[in-house]
Amino acid sequence: MKLIGTCKISKNGAFLNGKEVELFSSDTENWKKECYTNLNLDYSKFHKMDSLAKMAFLSTEIIKKEVDLSKYDENELTLLFANNSSSLTTDLKFINSYEVKGSPSPSLFVYTLPNILTGELAIRNKWYGENCFFIEEKFDVEFFLEQINFYFSKGSNACLCGWVESNKKNEECFLFLIEKNGKENIKEQLTTLYKQ
């Protein structure tokens, strides 16, 4: 397999293939909106997304600046995502909507599953391949590589993978694109780029 590209975003900055891209000020509270604006995107559904979906969406759009993701047939790209906190941030907002505000919010309820973000990416990019979202204790390269190998054995030719986390302490997304053809030892590369 071969590592095609990576993107890591958090309030500390955006990094494409390990190099910082100036898309927002690191001290801004609305860094995701600033990033969206500076990417010159026009996708109004973005504003309704929860934090997980926004980060996965923005990371994908940043990678698309360098990699032509439309080259993949609609079924050959697999989406593999994981995090530790599931959709906890939105779950708490949803609970607040009916316990405090008096009525369960349908627009929050939509995002009370973390795998909704894979649906958002699929709709945006017209990807109809496999997708999975795992809950893991921490970012684990070996776990991702096991899953990637499985999906490559089932016919996928590329995997867009992401560790995307949103909780009170941390908001980050590390996205990486792997292609089937190639012989690279990507474990070390990914570990280094994630720690950046």
Is 96 one of the binding residues for other proteins (CB under 8 A)?
A: no
Of 97 and 115, nearer to other proteins (C-beta) is 97
Smallest separation, CB 33 to other proteins (Å): 4
In whole angstroms, give the CA distance from residue 177 to residue 180.
Answer: 10
Q: Minimum Å distance from CB 7 to other proteins?
A: 20
Residue 82 in contact with residue 145, Cβ under 8 Å?
no
Instruction: Give the Cα separation of 63 and 76 in Å (integer).
Output: 18
For other proteins, the closer of residues 2 and 48 by Cβ is 48
Hey, how many other C-beta atoms are within 10 angstroms of the C-beta on 177? Answer: 23
Nearer to other proteins, 108 or 190 (CB): 108
**# chain residues binding other proteins, by CB under 8 A:** 18
Alpha carbon distance 152, 21 (integer Å): 31
110 lies in the binding site for other proteins (CB under 8 A): yes
What order do you get walking across the sheet with 13-16 strand by strand?
A: 19-21, 13-16, 2-10, 171-179, 158-166, 77-83, 131-135
158-166 and 131-135 beta bridge pairing: unpaired
Helix (H) or strand (E) run with residue 154 in it: none
Stretch 146-175 residues interacting with other proteins (CB under 8 A): none
Specify the residue, 58 or 190, whose C-beta has the smaller distance to other proteins. 58
Interface with other proteins in residues 22-81 (CB under 8 A): 30, 32-33, 36, 43-48
Q: Which of 100, 106, 154, 183 binds other proteins (CB under 8 A)?
A: 106
Q: CB of residue 9 vs other proteins: minimum separation in angstroms?
A: 15
Which residue matches tokens 């100036």? 22
Q: Which residues form the interface with other proteins (CB under 8 A)?
A: 30, 32-33, 36, 43-48, 93, 102-103, 105-108, 110
